[in-house]
Amino acid sequence: MTDATRIADRYIAVWNESDPARRRAMLAEEWNADATYVDPLASSAGVDEIAALIGAVQARFPGFRFALDGRSDGYGDRIRFSWTLGPTAEPDMIRGTDFIVVENGRLQSVTGFLDKVPAGA
């Protein structure tokens, strides 16, 4: 059984890491080199593209932070959890749910869904 809570916590930490070198190191440690990420707005393959995507999201939403929303859940090599993204004044401005497949103890694929996105975001 995969540790869903640990993986979700580490996943959120990567999205909140503002130092590009540290973020890249975290991705290399936790994700498979050929991992994929897809959501309604983006698609990335490999840790370099995923690192660039995270940097672009941080640039688009400066000062915003990700946080887990509720508990993570999983069975076998599958994990799901919900998250929020927003500034301190409105920490749940954006909400989503991600589904992760773990392979050999590392993240292999992420499929993200956007549950709440304000107009113009």
Give the pLDDT of residue 21: 97
**In Å, how far are 7, 29, 39, 42, 117 from 52, measured between CA atoms?**
20, 16, 15, 11, 21
To the nearest 10 degrees (0 to 180), the angle between helices 20-30 and 4-16 is 160
**What is 4-116's CATH number, 2.60.40.10, 3.30.2020.10, 3.40.50.300, 3.10.450.50?**
3.10.450.50
What pLDDT band is residue 121 in, cutting at 50, 70 and 90? confident
What's the pLDDT tens digit per position in 46-67? 999 999 999 999 999 999 999 9
* Signed CA dihedral, 83, 86, 87, 90: sign only: negative
Q: Average of pLDDT values for 36-55?
A: 97
pTM: 0.94
* Domain range list for the chain: 4-116
Q: 30: number of CA atoms within 13 Å, CB side?
A: 23
What's the pLDDT tens digit per position in 91-102? 999 999 999 999
What's the pLDDT tens digit per position in 2-22? 699 999 999 999 999 999 999
